[in-house]
Chains A and B, each alone.
Chain A
């Protein structure tokens, strides 16, 4: 069975601090996709990134960066120079790929990030 663990439940930082959100996953599949979604107070899940299990290259997008390490089954997310608008709940998720990248997602419990001015 697939499982996603986000051990951190709440993180509070002061604006401009860097923050890393941890994600550890379990799967018996050899191919899979990992995702990060952001859920602001409005409730809608906003897609941030998708990573294929064969691609361990780290990715940077503006202030966001992701570190995928297959050896430790981790897919961590770092926000550099955090801003108040980054305050939200962040979910890590895992999908099967036997039917492609669009399969059902298994989510972690989420991390509530609060960025104080």
Chain B
């Protein structure tokens, strides 16, 4: 097991374009989280899934953002009509429900909107 994997690691896009990020959690982990981290700040919760069900969404997740986890394995986070304020590091984490284990984080996708 290679841990949580995120792709791409870096993305530069023009304002107004759509972008999609992918997260592959640790296999058998049934919980998957998305966080956003801006420069000089701690990660902020965006949303999380338990298996394929999206159980909670933060108010930070505007209607331009959508996340899916169609088969309860990998997840995608799409941002439509990107804005400069969307520039941030997007972090994915996974954990196993019911076990007293911590969430494991991926290396993140750094988005720059120009």
Contact residues of A with B, CB < 8 Å?
4, 35, 37, 42-47, 50, 91, 93, 99-102, 104-110
Contacts and interface: CB of A to CB of B under 8 A. Distances in A.
Contacts of A50: 100, 102
Contacts of B108: 43-44
Interface of B: 31, 33, 35, 40-45, 48, 56, 89, 91, 93, 95-108, 110
Nearest to B33: A104
B107 A105 contact: no
Given A42-B107, A43-B107, A44-B106, A101 B42 contact: no
Contacts of A110: 40-42
B105 A107 contact: no
B43 A45 contact: yes
A91 B97 CA distance: 23
Given A44-B108, A102-B101, 14 more contacts: A37-B105, A43-B108, A45-B105, A47-B103, A47-B104, A91-B43, A93-B42, A101-B101, A102-B31, A102-B96, A107-B44, A108-B42, A109-B41, A110-B40
